[in-house]
């Protein structure tokens, strides 16, 4: 069984960890893992150059979460992290006080940057870094090209998405999101193949605008999802009219989409009507959205979608796969 997931950082990583736990139960291998092949196509629109190193927040969150090294409380970054380097940088009057680069995390960025500088594409570098973490999935960046999400503010100024998100907490109104570098970007090696050969494609509860939306914007990826032979199922990141964590509501508002489970589904659209999804799992508190979506032709169900721990998340993955008849 082949599963392909389009993922952002924390939401996508936590979901994938639950999916792997489910698959390890249903389709176990001899080593405590699963015989299923899971490919994760990660958003790299949040990537940036900082202090001369390449930071890939969503790839790293996936790698640390699935590899057992994540700071659980934060959901991103390394467990047992320290900040001696950034503190010392600050003593020189340098550094970005709004963006934390932990010491252990910095090692990842240094390693990545060294390999990139040696001429390796990001997909190969990611494979190399992931070989240490053994995330149990094939981890692919959406593209080898640098595509960076920027936010256009009301005065027309463009700032990097991370500056808007982390420094300004998404409180400065955004006019739109611009993917700098998009025109020259192509899907990374393996991405289109993973969509064409999947038995099921999953859109986890990641940010629909700046995580999944950015992946779909890479020329060729939206069409590959639309044309995938396998069913495509999504899980709502919006519960009861609000994102579970983060500020996805500010992103949805910027693109004119209401922050509700039903509106996010309609924003993605049904594949039968040119969209990217066949099925949509909403939280049980949004059960009243189910009849309307079902009338429109959606395969839709309501269940608890709070990823409170790994077993609860495995149950969410099971509900999602069952919705498209792919629960092993």
Contacting positions for ligand GDP (CB under 6 A): 7-12, 58, 61, 205-207, 211, 235-237, 239, 243-246, 248, 305-307
Nearer to ligand GDP, 42 or 118 (CB): 42
Read off the tokens for 153.
């503010």
SS3 of 39, please? strand
Residue 9 in the binding site for Ca ion (CB under 5 A):
yes
Q: Nearest approach, Cβ of 243 to Ca ion (angstroms)?
A: 13
**Do 54 and 109 meet the contact criterion of CB atoms below 8 Å apart?**
yes
Q: Which of 58, 105, 283, 286 binds Ca ion (CB under 5 A)?
A: 58
Q: How far is 161 from 182, CA to CA, in rounded Å? A: 15
SS3 of 266, please? helix
**Do 305 and 281 meet the contact criterion of CB atoms below 8 Å apart?**
yes
Read off the tokens for 45.
């629109």
Nearer to ligand GDP, 48 or 235 (CB): 235
Q: Nearest approach, Cβ of 311 to ligand GDP (angstroms)?
A: 13
Nearer to Ca ion, 8 or 204 (CB): 8
For the chain, give the number of residues. 328
Read off the tokens for 266.
């309609």
Which of ligand GDP, Ca ion, none is residue 259 near (CB under 5 to 8 Å by kind)?
none
Rg (alpha carbons) of the chain, rounded to whole number: 19
Which of ligand GDP, Ca ion, none is residue 40 near (CB under 5 to 8 Å by kind)?
none
**Do 108 and 101 meet the contact criterion of CB atoms below 8 Å apart?**
no
Residue 8 in the binding site for Ca ion (CB under 5 A):
yes
Q: Nearest approach, Cβ of 28 to ligand GDP (angstroms)?
A: 26
Q: Which residues sit at the interface with Ca ion, rule CB under 5 A?
A: 8-9, 46, 58
């Amino acid at each position: 069984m082949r599963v392909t997931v389009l993922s952002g950082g924390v939401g996508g990583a936590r979901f994938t960890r639950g999916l792997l736990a489910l698959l390890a139960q249903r389709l176990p291998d001899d080593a405590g893992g699963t015989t299923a092949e899971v490919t994760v196509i990660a958003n790299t629109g949040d990537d940036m150059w900082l202090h001369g190193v390449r930071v890939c927040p969503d790839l790293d969150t996936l790698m640390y979460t699935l590899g057992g090294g994540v700071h659980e409380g934060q959901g991103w970054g390394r467990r047992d992290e320290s900040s001696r380097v950034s503190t010392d940088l600050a003593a020189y009057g340098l550094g970005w006080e709004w963006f934390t680069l932990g010491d252990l995390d910095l090692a990842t960025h240094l390693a990545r940057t060294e390999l990139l500088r040696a001429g390796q594409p990001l997909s190969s570098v990611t494979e190399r870094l992931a070989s240490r973490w053994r995330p149990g999935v094939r981890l692919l960046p959406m593209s080898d090209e640098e595509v960076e999400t920027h936010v256009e503010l009301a005065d027309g100024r463009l700032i990097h998405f991370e500056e808007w998100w982390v420094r300004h907490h998404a409180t400065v109104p955004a006019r739109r999101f611009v993917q700098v570098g998009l025109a020259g970007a192509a899907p990374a090696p393996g991405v289109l193949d993973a969509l064409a050969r999947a038995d099921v494609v999953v859109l986890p509860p990641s940010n629909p605008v700046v995580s999944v939306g950015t992946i779909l914007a890479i020329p060729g990826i939206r069409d590959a999802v639309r044309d995938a032979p396998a069913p495509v199922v999504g899980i709502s990141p919006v519960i009861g009219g609000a994102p579970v964590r983060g500020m996805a509501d500010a992103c949805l508002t910027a693109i004119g989409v209401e922050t509700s489970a039903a509106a996010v589904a309609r924003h993605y659209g049904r594949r039968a009507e040119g969209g990217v999804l066949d099925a949509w799992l909403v939280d049980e508190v949004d059960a009243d959205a189910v009849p309307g979506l079902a009338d429109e032709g959606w395969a839709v169900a309501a269940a608890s979608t709070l990823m409170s721990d790994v077993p609860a998340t495995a149950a969410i993955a099971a509900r999602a796969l069952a919705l498209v008849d792919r629960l092993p």
